[in-house]
Chain A
Amino acid sequence: MLAAARCIVRRDLLLALRRPSDVATALLFFVIVASLFPLGVGAEPNLLRAIAPGVIWVAALLSSMLSLGRLFAADHADGTLEQMLLGVSPLGVVAAAKVFTHWLVSGLPLVAIAPLIALQYDLPQSLYGTLALSLLLGTPVLSLIGAIGAALTLGLRGGGVLLALLVLPLYVPVLIMGAGSVDMAAAGLSPAGQLQLLAALLVLAAAFAPWAIATALRISTE
């Protein structure tokens, strides 16, 4: 089982690295969206400092969602997905491995870039740790939940927007907890509560999402 997972992770990583533009565009989207807000609301430093956690989180959420389309589409198009469905390894393991790789390539870089965006918003440096930790815990949850939507909308017309419609309501708790943790830290209170809730969401998602993704893949390909 682990061998299969390792194999899939290696394969997907290799494929992603061969097409760096796919990965880079999602990350650039994150930066661009975050840069748009000051242009829209004005450059007043206090305002920007106040909205920074929310803006960074929303931008991360949207960027993560945009890259979901790639998750199963290529394999579905060339028939690899059907092979995975027919294969020996449990589909849940396959799905979890694919989502993990997707997160490595689309979610983890966001954690690294977020402090740069925080610089733009003049967020106090003491909050960078909380921000990074909240994103580190939250982006995997986004990938896991988003993968369910990606599996359900495989091959449908209007795919991208439909995926967004399905998945964004489910993202709300993650967004609230994630941005909320940084807000709490900014107010001088402990963000531990929100971060622990995020961790709980991560554990729940990691436990149940692979099953849901596998079921969705079966529904979409039969």
Chain B
Amino acid sequence: MNWHSATEFFAMGGYGIYVWSAYAATAGVLALEAGFALRRRRRALAAARERQA
């Protein structure tokens, strides 16, 4: 085990802000991308349905 406590884990040897901001930004951007793709799919379905109507 690398970490002896949760505080140590979050501190990351003093580099916590760099490591966690990088991971947070990555997760955020990937979530946004998935969200946009989902939204595009939903819109395409709705448009296809509208044409049917």
Q: Is there direct touching of A and B in the complex, by C-beta distance under 8 Å?
A: no
Q: Residues of B at under 8 Å CB distance from A?
A: none
Q: Residues of A at under 8 Å CB distance from B?
A: none
